[in-house]
Amino acid sequence: MPIDLSHGPVTLNIEHRIARLQLNQPERRNALGCEALERIEHALEFVEADQKVRVLILSATPAETFCAGAALDEISEGLLTPARFHACLDRLSECSRPTVAAISGNVYGGGAELPLACDFRIGVTGLRLQVPATRIGLCYPPPGIQRYTRQLGAPAAKRILLAGETCNVETLLTMGYLSEAVSPEALADTVTHFAHTLADCAPLAMRAVKQLIDAEATNTWDREIAQAWQTRCDKSLDLKRGLEAARLKRAPDFQGD
């Protein structure tokens, strides 16, 4: 039976080429349990199937905490495993559309890794990040260590995961965890404007470039695949539309073909 994503712990709304995936459990600090993870994955399937969607925004109901990671009560009951949690984050990172995390509050534990699975992260001034795994005797799950190290580099990964440092916005900007920091009042408009900027780009070319950047970052680069993407884009109608629009000095009408 299809999951209704119009309400519940995770919702999906699509409007004007922008898909908005929102966490809606502030009373649980938006901790992600089995139901929430399933809804996120279902939403991603819906986004992939909708050719009109150009960009995905990940957000949360405004609260002090954006996300506190995996639901500890479900882990303690044996209902949720770190592998299940990271499988969902992998699905998010593999989304073919550009993804933007609108981080409206603090990120804690595995919740700090959720935005890291997105391509861009815009946060509010004053937010804090902490992953206290080593402070309680826990080895952070290896897939997460890989993601932090690939995305931010070993020195930043060690500060976050090894030292368990509480990082402020300035540090997160320097590390590259945040793309930009804005006031809470400006977050929604800033993220929406950036999402529309992305949505104006050629979807086929964006898909190609995103996949190839991720392949290089994960040491899975394949020269033949890269050449195939370039050839496909070079022969696309969107390239013709883009060149014609540039000649006429008007905005192109990309169709993704």
- Contact of 138 with 106, CB cutoff 8 Å: no
CA 209 centroid distance within chain: 16
The pLDDT value recorded for residue 177 is 98
Which positions of the chain have pLDDT values less than 70? 1-2
Q: Report the pLDDT value the prediction gives residue 150, as an integer from 0 to 100.
A: 95
Domains of the chain with bracketed CATH: 10-199 (3.90.226.10), 203-248 (no CATH)
pLDDT at position 25 is 93
CA-nearest of 207, 228, 220 to 48 is: 207
Residue environment code for 137-171, b if the CB has 16+ CB neighbours within 10 A, otherwise e:
eeebbebbbebbebbbeeebbebbbeeebebebeb
